[in-house]
Amino acid sequence: MNLFEELEWRGLVDNITSPEVKDAINNEKLTFYIGTDPTADSLHIGHYSSLLMAKRLEKHGHHPIMLVGGATGFIGDPKATGERNMLTQETLKANYDALHAQISKLWGFEMVNNLDWTKDISVIDFLRDYGKFFNVNYMINKETVKKRLDTGISYTEFSYMILQSLDFLHLYQEKNCTLQIGGQDQWGNITSGLELIRKKCGADVKCYGLTMPLITKADGTKFGKSESGTVWLDASKTSPYELYQFLFNTDDRKVIEYLKKLTFLTREQIEELEVSLQNEPHKRLAQKTLASEVVRDLHGQEGLDCALKITEALFKGKIQELTDDQKLDAIHNMEKLHCEQGKTLLETLVESGIASSRREAREWIKGNSIMVNGTKITDPDYMMTPDNHCVCVKNYSIIRRGKKNYYCLELK
């Protein structure tokens, strides 16, 4: 299996601009680029597949360039749903600096900022030297633009395609960059860049484009900053434990796809996990492996060890063995319920909404189903007071019902 065949097997190829792309990836040493705009101060899990794509190609001798769009970030790539909010110069600069630091630390790729070659272009030069090569009919037939015609699209966002095409042209001329890689929603921008290069530099220029399928959840929605519950690659925004839990809870229908796209595991290793998923899905070996591989790659063995320690402490009721920071990490994404201190456990379960009735709460307690901060409680009259060890950290208490149901109580 050659490199391009492996990329196809992993589900990383949506479309290519010509059949020559396959031979170029397999047999040449290309300089290629992948771009992202600094619309946030961290990359998220939706970006991760593209970053690993760059790493896969780099391991085979290709040279990656990561472009963070300090200029295109001012404009905003058109969305199908409507105009983007324009960010301030200060916000974009802070985001750019954060992404530069993050990418440099994690992957060490060469990085460029398209603001460097666009900031001094005058309006007249932009229209004469670049805009002249773009046919409006061609531009409005691009998929994302076409979807916006009924609701309207500003000239600002409409011009994004020209700016991104200018990036490809500049990197080709200055760094002999001959391949652009992007998500499948970038097809129109990539092909426009190829057209600009050919019109400016000659029809015989050998440049290519490759798009990747967007990674989606089991319900078909994509990972992104605009979706709820964004999973960030920055440990201060999404901790290693939170990332581990997110991946560990991957739907059976998606876990093999994620293993192919988000890890460096071999085909043989992934196929073994697929057999385990089919024959013994209750062991969740595929999900455990996915979570461990990604957390280790992003946050090192120390980050993975911390995630596993918190996970084990919650599962085995050893919460008190965690540090306060680890306890706060454990409850960070739990829904916070509220109840007054000094109530009985039975009253607390009902008033917080964990149990629907006093009868149900009593059955759970008497049936050995309730743990408070890792300690099993069988007395319905157990008093929820600090003296009775009802507080886990700060004014929070962790209630566990059965094996999988966790609740965070804020006691007032």
Transcribe 143-164 into DSSP letters.
Answer: HHHHHHTTT---HHHHTHHHHH
**How would residue 225 be classed by pLDDT, with cut points 50, 70 and 90?**
low
If asked whether residues 142 and 53 sit together in one domain, one would say yes
Query: Can you point out the beta strands (E) in 37-178?
Result: 63-68, 110-113
Residue 121 has phi, psi (to 5 degrees) of -80, 125
- In this predicted structure, the answer to whether residue 54 has a pLDDT above a threshold of 70 is yes
**278 known ligand binder:** no
**Residue 220 CB neighbours (<10 A):** 6
Least confident range of 83-87, 252-256, 336-340: 83-87
If asked whether residues 203 and 267 sit together in one domain, one would say no
Q: Pick the last residue of a domain from 288, 316, 344.
A: 316
Maximum Cα–Cα distance across the chain: 83
**244 known ligand binder:** no
pLDDT for res 226: 47
Give the C-alpha separation, 43 to 47, whole Å: 6
Is residue 18 assigned to a domain? Answer: yes
Give the pairing type, strands 405-411 and 336-339: parallel
For residue 357, the Cα-to-chain-centroid distance in whole angstroms is: 40
**How would residue 160 be classed by pLDDT, with cut points 50, 70 and 90?**
confident
Least confident range of 120-134, 232-246, 329-343, 358-372: 329-343
What is the span of the domain harbouring residue 388?
Answer: 336-411
Global pTM value: 0.87
If asked whether residues 136 and 283 sit together in one domain, one would say no
Please report, for the domain that includes residue 261, its CATH number. Answer: 1.10.240.10
Return the top range by mean pLDDT from 52-66, 218-232, 381-395: 52-66
Mean pLDDT, the chain, as a whole number?
A: 90
If asked whether residues 27 and 149 sit together in one domain, one would say yes
Alpha-helical (H) ranges within 135-237 are 136-140, 143-148, 155-158, 160-175, 187-201
If asked whether residues 63 and 122 sit together in one domain, one would say yes
If asked whether residues 43 and 188 sit together in one domain, one would say yes
Q: Is 398 helix (H, G, I), strand (E, B) or coil?
A: strand
User: Which residues are CB-contacts of 40 (< 8 A; sequence separation ≥ 6)?
Assistant: 95, 225
- List, for residues 170-180, the tens digit of each pLDDT value: 999 999 999 99
Q: Pick the last residue of a domain from 163, 194, 212.
A: 212
If asked whether residues 81 and 182 sit together in one domain, one would say yes
Is residue 19 assigned to a domain? Answer: yes
Give the pairing type, strands 110-113 and 31-36: unpaired
Mean per-residue pLDDT for 97-117? 94
pLDDT top residue among 83 and 182: 182
Mean per-residue pLDDT for 128-134? 91
Is residue 45 assigned to a domain? Answer: yes
Tokens of 99: 């992404």
**Residue 404 CB neighbours (<10 A):** 7
Residue 259 has phi, psi (to 5 degrees) of -60, -40
If asked whether residues 21 and 143 sit together in one domain, one would say yes
Please report, for the domain that includes residue 366, its CATH number. Answer: 3.10.290.10
Least confident range of 17-21, 117-121, 263-267, 403-407: 403-407
Give the total number of structural domains in the chain.
3
If asked whether residues 180 and 75 sit together in one domain, one would say yes
Mean per-residue pLDDT for 93-99? 94
Give the C-alpha separation, 236 to 229, whole Å: 15
Q: Is 223 helix (H, G, I), strand (E, B) or coil?
A: coil
- In this predicted structure, the answer to whether residue 224 has a pLDDT above a threshold of 70 is no
**Residue 146 CB neighbours (<10 A):** 14
Share of the chain above pLDDT 90, in %: 64
If asked whether residues 161 and 198 sit together in one domain, one would say yes
Least confident range of 40-44, 90-94, 403-407: 403-407
**Residue 338 CB neighbours (<10 A):** 11
Is residue 114 assigned to a domain? Answer: yes
**How would residue 344 be classed by pLDDT, with cut points 50, 70 and 90?**
very high
User: Which residues are CB-contacts of 346 (< 8 A; sequence separation ≥ 6)?
Assistant: 358, 361, 362, 365, 380, 381
If asked whether residues 152 and 258 sit together in one domain, one would say no
**336 known ligand binder:** no
Is residue 217 assigned to a domain? Answer: no
Return the top range by mean pLDDT from 113-117, 312-316, 380-384: 113-117
Give the C-alpha separation, 312 to 244, whole Å: 12
Q: Pick the last residue of a domain from 212, 229, 251.
A: 212
- In this predicted structure, the answer to whether residue 352 has a pLDDT above a threshold of 70 is yes
Mean per-residue pLDDT for 74-102? 85
Transcribe 339-390 into DSSP letters.
Answer: E-TT-BHHHHHHHTTSSSSHHHHHHHHHTT-EEETTEE---TT-B-SGGGT-
Sign of dihedral through CA atoms 159, 161, 167, 168? negative
Give the pairing type, strands 15-16 and 375-376: unpaired
pLDDT for res 369: 92
pLDDT for res 200: 94
Please report, for the domain that includes residue 205, its CATH number. Answer: 3.40.50.620
Mean per-residue pLDDT for 244-258? 95
**33 known ligand binder:** yes
Give the pairing type, strands 208-212 and 15-16: antiparallel
Is residue 175 assigned to a domain? Answer: yes
If asked whether residues 39 and 150 sit together in one domain, one would say yes
**How would residue 64 be classed by pLDDT, with cut points 50, 70 and 90?**
very high
pLDDT for res 9: 97
Give the C-alpha separation, 317 to 324, whole Å: 15
**How would residue 182 be classed by pLDDT, with cut points 50, 70 and 90?**
very high
- In this predicted structure, the answer to whether residue 102 has a pLDDT above a threshold of 90 is yes
Mean per-residue pLDDT for 268-284? 96
Is residue 235 assigned to a domain? Answer: no
Tokens of 229: 């519950």
Is residue 229 assigned to a domain? Answer: no
Q: Are 153 and 83 in contact (CB under 8 A)?
A: yes
